[in-house]
Amino acid sequence: MFFHAAKAFGFLSAPSNALLLLGLAGVVASLLGYRAGFALTTAALVGFALAGLSPLGNLLLNPLEDRFPRAAGEPAPAGIVVLGGSFDTVVAGARKEVVLTDAAERMTEIAELARRWPEARIAFTGGSNAVLYDGATEAELAARMLESFGVPRERLTLESRSRNTVENARFTRELVTPKPGERWMLVTSAYHMPRAIGCFRKEGFDVEAWPVDYRTRGPEDAFRPFSSVSAGLRRTDVAVREWVGLVTYWALGYVDGPLPRP
């Protein structure tokens, strides 16, 4: 129930979708003779311009990306947890190929980390979050990709049931059963790290941040506009949905605060 509700809410929380619905409502209202139609349509167009061309997406994303710096490299960790989100499971299932998304760095970073810490266990967590179409699970795609990197299968722990960050933390902890005093790294996109760390803490799994997949250069991007509406809208969608996800998880008790601390 939560999964499907979250999907529907996630659709509406993306500014591009919300602005499109607002614009359509304005058009319908105008056709029906309501004076508010013009105002709704105008608001939608102005919103598209602000979200698509202004630095709004960078302003929202930067505090998330800078919240958790990378942990120190020593001592070597006992294990590395990698969150899903790097694979297009629907296309991969149809094409029988490994198909990566724009969060691919979550996986490509592992090639270096596996070489750097050859004794560390690698736990990948991710099932399939497809609603309308069946596809492969992220875990099976991750296994294929990691083995192609030369990582032996016996080093891998694969969790294929989770469909969201809460389940990532819960199911991974059940599988790896970390021992007291063990050091575990968590690899995910930098903007997603606060919510991920918060979920793992809530499950009693103490992990250290290893953020990847940065979308901004840092504070200097706070005043950098976008050269195309599509690029700005995409950045704003990612940022707003992550903030909404954080506040929602906090309200539901999945994390201890609206912006977990390092």
- Mean pLDDT score of the chain: 92
Q: Is the pLDDT of residue 43 over 90?
A: yes
Burial class (CB in 10 A: 0-12, 13-18, 19+), 207: buried
pLDDT at position 6? 63
Structure tokens at 180: 């007291």
The rounded distance, in Å, linking the Cα atoms of 215 and 82 is 18
Q: How far is CA 262 from the centre of its chain?
A: 18
Fold of 79-212: Rossmann fold (3.40.50)
Tens digit of each residue's pLDDT (9 = 90 or more) over 236-253? 999 999 999 999 999 999
Helices marked H in 73-149 — which ranges? 89-95, 105-116, 138-148
pTM value is 0.90
- Which residues belong to CATH 3.40.50.620 in the chain? 79-212
Q: Which two tokens stand for residue 234?
A: 């995409």
Would you say residue 3 has pLDDT above 60? no
pLDDT at position 228 over 90: yes
Comparison of pLDDT for 89 and 123, the residue scoring more? 123
Measured distance CA(56)–CA(235) in Å, rounded: 9
pLDDT band at 133 (very low <50, low <70, confident <90, very high): low
Average pLDDT over residues 123-150: 83
Which whole number is the average pLDDT over 188-217? 97
